[in-house]
Structure 1
Amino acid sequence: MQYLFDHTGRRYLDLFGGIVTVSVGHCHPKVTAAAREQMDRLWHTTNIYLHPKIHEYTERLLATMPSHLQVVHLVNSGSEANDLAVLLARLSTGHFDVISLRNAYHGMGPHGMALTAHSTWKYNVAHMFGVHHAMNADPYRGPWGGARCRDSPVQTDRHCDCAAGHCQASQLYADQLAETLRYSCPKGRVAAFFAESIQGVGGTVQFPIGYLQKAEALVRDHGGLLVMDEVQTGFGRTGEHFWAFEGHGVRPDIVTMAKGIGNGFPLAAVVTTKEVAAKMSEALHFNTYGGGPVSSAVGIAVLDALAEDGCQERAGRLGTRLLHALAQLRDRHPAVGDVRGKGLMIGIELVAEPRGRQPLGTDAVGDVWEHAKDRGLLVGRGGHFGNVLRIKPPMCITDEDVDFAVAVLDEAFTAHLPQ
């Protein structure tokens, strides 16, 4: 479930979940049984032949979505899902140019690498044609934002002039998106705007409250679609909603999802409207393994486990508790520059000097990371500078796991961070 064991039998608390992929727990008995039962009955057949599991699963998946989203394309990974979303947006709007945000990560396929705005994940090959990156709306590291700007139980300690319930930073960042639309896109027309509900690989960056609503309005005014990337944030991980975009108050035209959808089994999806999907009838399109019998059976079992185990409620309750405890560590350790997130989508940014937000060097971050591992705690690393500890565990952790994680991190910070 939330634990992994090495070759000696030593146990580790997994707070990274296979890079935010194990949603309901390693080897969850319900999911494992569903896969085994389906494999004993029918392992694979091309989907030009009807099999009931794919239809049962897509109906179950659509029941979790807003009613205007009525079509599912099943694929195998988040990169495939985002590549297909780019194709859908370009076909349905008739426009070519696409906008994503700096610091975004949307995969390593041809379109995904173009959407991704991390030089550390980009190879020196042609991939950027028609994709533009707008300024990232980051209340901690960006030029605007502060202590009243995030939808999180824990705010940055950066000064903020925003009045309660009115985030000035969101408008300033939206103005930068408007500049990108005005100057970079042909005649101001765009096919789509891509955004993660919370940036994952980029270091659990949360946008200012209201930013995505403003971005959605701008993009629609310029002929484009809103594409929400829920590869890491979906399936209840943020606690308050099943889909994290619901917390932003937006109405996406396309939603991409992967990782937690299959609890580690290769499964992903693009969910969209009938109008957008209609363009796919103009030529043949096929995915050999997408929506196969076993992956569909696994997807159904994951949805069952999420509901039966109360994963969304647990993510909200324990995530909030963990965030508050980590904020206390930030107050005690000057090199903990920021604690942020929602539910069990959490980031801890380590800095060399809090006032200037200079990233902590990778060697020191690595020492913290290794210390935690040696004490039986697995966390991830992310952010452009590799200085953000990423906490995204299976959503079956306990209060005892939270206490253990905080104690180990406190010990690691004391041992390896500048005090």
Structure 2
Amino acid sequence: MQRISKISGALSGSYLQLCRRSLSRLPQTQPALVDDDAVLPKMPPFDYSPPPYTGPSAAEILKKRQEYLSPSLFHFYSNPLNSVDGKMQYLFDENGRRYLDAFGGIATVCCGHCHPDVVEAIVSQTQRLQHSTVLYLNHAIAEFAEALASKMPGDLKVVFFTNSGTEANELAMMIARLYTGCHDIISLRNAYHGNAAATMSATAQCNYKFNVVQTGVHHALNPDQYRGVFGSDGLKYAKDVQDLIDYGTCGNVAGFLAEAIQGVGGILELAPGYLPAVYGTIKKAGGLCIADEVQSGFARTGSHFWGFEAHGVVPDIVTMAKGIGNGVPIGAVVTTPEIAKVLTYRTYFNTFGGNPVSTASGLAVLRVIEKEKLQENAHVVGSYLKDRLTSLKEKHEIIGDVRGRGLMLGVELVTDRQLKTPAKVETLHVMDKMKGFSLSLSLSLSLR
């Protein structure tokens, strides 16, 4: 949610010639994306120069990654970005070149890279006490839990700290199953909620699912306003949840897990009216409603602090990570006192959950969001950016859809607007070219 009001210049001009056909197949005698006579937009002035970099080159790092790290790791760009420094909304490579970071470390750096207030909180706590245990008392975890609870609606005020979004969703699913005494959980097609045992079951994208035992999760029709069979009619999509309960379960469920805006799924905001209807259906079936706010939380959507608030619902459990620590590994589950009691029946423990440094960072993030009015900034800048992107859609047929809210926006490229055929090759090509314009982006790996 870095301040990117200067981005308007990057959206104008003829330098980005988006074409309907495959950009990668444009004749080499013609400029693929850049007009030689066009004036490329320049970065606005920025009062920071990174210190000289003396570490290994990008080629050396890539070689070590290939030799020592998991072969499952991949990287963006044909010429990978070696990010060695970061300051607020910018990243710097090994040569000191500045990039506008529109990726934010997968929607994680919500206050800006190395925000001085967050850095100060981390350094101060690290110098005093780097790690403790929840078996002892420490002010950092208690103060952050209190501050976090103050941002929640209703009776959501009991916090369990984890280390990631996957952990948070795993815990939330277990709590729902323990509290209700049921095993069946409903999530959405196209969803991503993590890559551990239960969360892989809840995830509904084959790219992220291994051939291991996955049980107890039913995937409902996705209320996709762009590709869905019912368009923006949330109530029609919601009926599928009742059908799943009627025909796929004993009539009772443990819960329903969903993001208000699917992040990994392509920045898909659920159709209006869907969540209120589904929450009602789940309640009647004895289940709990779980809001996955790992990406859409912490004011990123601009209009609200939490994504679910835009739909007028109050969940029973909320999960979060990413922006909660501005890059420090931390996640959380927030629920009601009544539901939280279920974990007292046995011993639930997390060695690093609630680490003093992590929670100090989290508290600093909340204070920065409030002090610098980042929610308002996300709304104002995001609305402007969305309007400008939408205007590009009117000029370039390859742009099929512009969606999202605040600074959680997505642009879908298609080769045919009628068929909505994903422009996979073109999307990768555009990403590579945007790096050349000093703009760091991401793409949805679902690429339906």
Rg larger in structure: 2
1:325 to 383, 388, 397: 388
SS of 1:64 mapped into structure 2: coil
1:348 to 411, 421, 432: 411
How far apart are the structure 2 equivalents of 1:211 and 1:130?
23
Answer whether contact 2:413 2:426 (CA < 8 A) is retained. no
The question of 1:33 aligning with 2:120 is answered: yes
The question of 1:61 aligning with 2:137 is answered: no
The one-character-per-residue Cα deviations of 1:301-348 (angstroms, maximum 9, x if unpaired) are 001111111100000000000000000111111010000000001010
Counterparts of 1:100-179 in structure 2 under 5 Å?
100-126=187-213, 128-145=214-231, 149=232, 169-179=233-243
The one-character-per-residue Cα deviations of 1:14-53 (angstroms, maximum 9, x if unpaired) are 0010000000000000000100000000000111001111
The question of 1:7 aligning with 2:71 is answered: no
- Counterpart of 1:89, as a letter, is A
The question of 1:368 aligning with 2:430 is answered: yes
How far apart are the structure 1 equivalents of 2:210 and 2:375?
37
- Tell me the equivalent position of 1:335: 398
SS of 2:223 mapped into structure 1: coil
- Counterpart of 2:95, as a letter, is T
1:235 CA drift (Å) = 0.6
Q: Does 1 or 2 have the higher relative contact order (CA < 8 Å, sep 6+)?
A: 1
How far apart are the structure 2 equivalents of 1:208 and 1:247?
11
SS of 1:305 mapped into structure 2: helix
- Identity percentage over the alignment? 49
1:67 CA drift (Å) = 3.2
Answer whether contact 2:157 2:335 (CA < 8 A) is retained. yes
SS of 1:380 mapped into structure 2: coil
Answer whether contact 2:168 2:331 (CA < 8 A) is retained. yes
Answer whether contact 2:187 2:220 (CA < 8 A) is retained. yes
- Counterpart of 1:5, as a letter, is F
Which runs of no fewer than 5 residues in structure 2 stay unpaired?
Answer: 1-87
1:374 CA drift (Å) = 1.1
1:363 CA drift (Å) = 2.1
TM-score, with structure 1 as normaliser = 0.85
Counterparts of 1:303-322 in structure 2 under 5 Å?
303-322=366-385
How far apart are the structure 2 equivalents of 1:378 and 1:281?
45
- Counterpart of 2:138, as a letter, is H
1:223 CA drift (Å) = 0.7
- Tell me the equivalent position of 2:172: 85
1:351 CA drift (Å) = 0.5
1:170 CA drift (Å) = 1.1
How far apart are the structure 1 equivalents of 2:228 and 2:445?
13
How far apart are the structure 2 equivalents of 1:303 and 1:296?
11
- Counterpart of 1:262, as a letter, is G
1:384 CA drift (Å) = 1.8
1:206 CA drift (Å) = 1.1
**How many residues of Structure 1 are paired with residues of Structure 2 in the alignment?**
361
- Tell me the equivalent position of 1:237: 300
- Tell me the equivalent position of 1:409: none
The one-character-per-residue Cα deviations of 1:258-303 (angstroms, maximum 9, x if unpaired) are 0000000001100001111111000011000010111111011001
The one-character-per-residue Cα deviations of 1:89-146 (angstroms, maximum 9, x if unpaired) are 00011111000000000011111111000001111111x211110110111111111x
Which runs of no fewer than 5 residues in structure 1 stay unpaired?
Answer: 150-168, 387-419
- Tell me the equivalent position of 1:182: 246
How far apart are the structure 2 equivalents of 1:59 and 1:46?
18
- Counterpart of 2:394, as a letter, is D
TM-score, with structure 2 as normaliser = 0.80
- Counterpart of 1:212, as a letter, is L
- Tell me the equivalent position of 2:40: none
SS of 2:291 mapped into structure 1: strand
How far apart are the structure 1 equivalents of 2:397 and 2:251?
45
How far apart are the structure 1 equivalents of 2:151 and 2:269?
23
How far apart are the structure 2 equivalents of 1:206 and 1:240?
13
- Tell me the equivalent position of 1:290: 353
1:188 CA drift (Å) = 1.3
SS of 2:190 mapped into structure 1: coil
- Counterpart of 1:282, as a letter, is Y
- Counterpart of 1:381, as a letter, is L
How far apart are the structure 2 equivalents of 1:250 and 1:63?
17
1:383 CA drift (Å) = 5.1
The question of 1:260 aligning with 2:347 is answered: no
How far apart are the structure 2 equivalents of 1:206 and 1:10?
34
How far apart are the structure 2 equivalents of 1:181 and 1:200?
26
Give the CA RMSD over aligned residues: 0.8
In the TM superposition, structure 1's runs of 4+ consecutive aligned residues that sit over 3 Å from their partners are none
- Counterpart of 1:132, as a letter, is H
How far apart are the structure 2 equivalents of 1:302 and 1:206?
25
- Counterpart of 1:96, as a letter, is H
- Counterpart of 1:171, as a letter, is L
How far apart are the structure 2 equivalents of 1:351 and 1:288?
46
Deviates more, 1:18-27 or 1:169-178: 169-178
The one-character-per-residue Cα deviations of 1:357-401 (angstroms, maximum 9, x if unpaired) are 1111x2221110000011100110005217xxxxxxxxxxxxxxx
How far apart are the structure 1 equivalents of 2:225 and 2:356?
44
